[in-house]
Structure 1
């Protein structure tokens, strides 16, 4: 009998690729989305899977009991939903509480209403791993043993990006603490990707409504940037690799109660524009040149080798990712102009 996987956050940039991974592998998927409008968008992009894709509407993930009905009768859960807000004003209300409470709401619902679930895969982030106070930290190789040490108190005195990072860390800590203290019938696996760049699979109504990382690529070749921007985070991965990591983490016994960094390597915006200008000559006039082929500065690295060894992930190259992202964005822009 075909297994059914509940996937929260299914309508987003990464979520759409995770849907592809599970549906393409032959699973049925129950996608948890926030509104009826979201179901229409996901059905539009993933309609080829027919009845293998169904939906449940969860308007507010942070409400106690939000997932009580959603978890019933599924065989596994992928929890991706979490607020991604980089301009939050009220950190507690907009970030900390929904991130942590959304995770606990899901885990409590599974324990109470569905004892047959044996594996929960949760989307965490490199934000849960990096120590931002250490800066570029040349030569340091972050691994799954590292944790972002910033506290809630410290986050209240910093910028929204750091507060977002703390929200992700709180959510992951909450998940591990739940398993430790509640001893549920399921194990968890957390996936920690850095910046995720690549082609779009989710529905986008306007180029002004691109997800953060796609907008990051688009601005490099649409003429809005006259110079190459400074790079803030130097590690990246591809959404297709993140999606495969979620699938393999669900299927692998060895992945139980493990963290996985999913990281393809280091990048810079200069490297991105070098690839764009080389592979898309028609975009050279609208893509800043900067200092072509400039080497990366000495910065930290994220060790994604564990995902390769345990989950069998084969990472896309930076050229494959940038080329596919640009092609996808150009196609979307053309379709929206019709």
Structure 2
């Protein structure tokens, strides 16, 4: 199927997108990636040197600009939209989070409808942020599934006093809702698949060349093993509890594009719940070279007695055929990739 097909992957230099690009290249597709600059394109090229003839780029400096994707979508067979702002600390919720997420999503759909009539499917990465009800806290009696939607409105999210994390969650929700509204109201040639992962962890393969410039979720793991940390340090409390491996998310994008039954479906991509204590236990056991800089905490105490909501990702397992990785594999592979980056950065 993939021999002569080209997919557009937006935000191709991102942590998740890098694995998505890899998954499509490995499956025999040609990939056109959007990046903000020629310099970034060059870095991404180096990541996939063996696929040089299968990789091309479109420069999109600002995806929230009207017509941002008009040129990028021309000549592709499918669109994989991964580009989105992932920021928790912002000055202006509306300017920095809500508008870029919503407008970027609507722009790519508009451009695909107008300039790429040959595209029959768009895959959009949404988020568990678009499912979670933050007002319910840990909600131990609830099981999250694709049927759940974050109830926060645009007006609530735009308020100055709304914390960045809540505004980020609302931005992901409203962007995904705007995509489904587009399908309903515009009736384009293509169908839509949305994917909702929580915290995405795993090895870093993107164009990051400096350990100090890790993406948010990678930095989340690296903080537990960074040089200068000590076994006596306190383990930070969890503010988020659910996770998935980046390689499973990448495979889900490929399957979401290929599997007919995925048409106009929403999928929750989740391996389960985690705690930083569990991550520290894994790092100390499986990555001996960082043991002396990983906090000990209370080994084996799991969630520390906290009762949590449950997660049900059986739909993605059944329809997309995803077998989710376990936390020990994900955190071990992530740590090994960070150690490699430390060497490259001269921080080892």
Sort the TM-score into its range (normalised by shorter chain): over 0.9
The alignment status of 1:199 with 2:208, answered yes or no, reads: no
3-state SS of paired residue (1:314): coil
Compute the RMSD of aligned alpha carbons.
Answer: 1.1
| TM-score normalised by the chain length of structure 1 | 0.98
Moved more, 141-150 or 79-88: 79-88
d(CA) in 1 for partners of 2:255, 2:125:
13
d(CA) in 2 for partners of 1:301, 1:208:
34
Provide structure 1 residue ranges, at least 5 long, that are not aligned to the other structure.
Answer: none
Shift of 1:221: 1.2
Q: Is the 2:79–2:121 Cα contact (8 Å) retained in structure 1?
A: yes
| TM-score normalised by the chain length of structure 2 | 0.95
Shift of 1:281: 2.6
1:271 aligns with one of 270, 278, 281: 278
1:158 aligns with one of 159, 162, 181: 162
Shift of 1:139: 3.0
Q: Is the 1:235–1:301 Cα contact (8 Å) retained in structure 2?
A: no
Give the match for residue 307 of structure 1.
316
Provide structure 2 residue ranges, at least 5 long, that are not aligned to the other structure.
Answer: none
Moved more, 207-216 or 186-195: 207-216
Give the match for residue 344 of structure 2.
335
Give the match for residue 138 of structure 2.
136
Give the match for residue 213 of structure 2.
209
d(CA) in 2 for partners of 1:2, 1:271:
44
Shift of 1:84: 1.2
Shift of 1:334: 1.1
Give the match for residue 120 of structure 1.
122
Give the match for residue 8 of structure 1.
10
Q: Alpha-carbon deviations, 1:253-276, whole Å to 9, x = none?
A: 100100000001110000000001
Shift of 1:305: 1.0
3-state SS of paired residue (1:54): strand
d(CA) in 2 for partners of 1:254, 1:7:
22
1:318 aligns with one of 310, 327, 336: 327
Q: Alpha-carbon deviations, 1:97-152, whole Å to 9, x = none?
A: 11111111110111111111000000000000000000000131111000000112
Within 5 Å, which residues of 2 pair with 1:228-267?
A: 228-267=235-274
Give the match for residue 224 of structure 1.
229
Give the match for residue 75 of structure 1.
77
d(CA) in 2 for partners of 1:31, 1:306:
29
3-state SS of paired residue (1:220): coil
Within 5 Å, which residues of 2 pair with 1:274-289?
A: 274-289=281-296
d(CA) in 1 for partners of 2:48, 2:240:
32
State the aligned residue count. 338
Q: Is the 2:234–2:297 Cα contact (8 Å) retained in structure 1?
A: yes
d(CA) in 2 for partners of 1:279, 1:101:
43
Q: Structure 1 runs of 4+ off > 4 angstroms?
A: none
Give the match for residue 187 of structure 1.
191
d(CA) in 1 for partners of 2:66, 2:207:
29
Moved more, 199-208 or 305-314: 199-208
Moved more, 293-302 or 19-28: 293-302
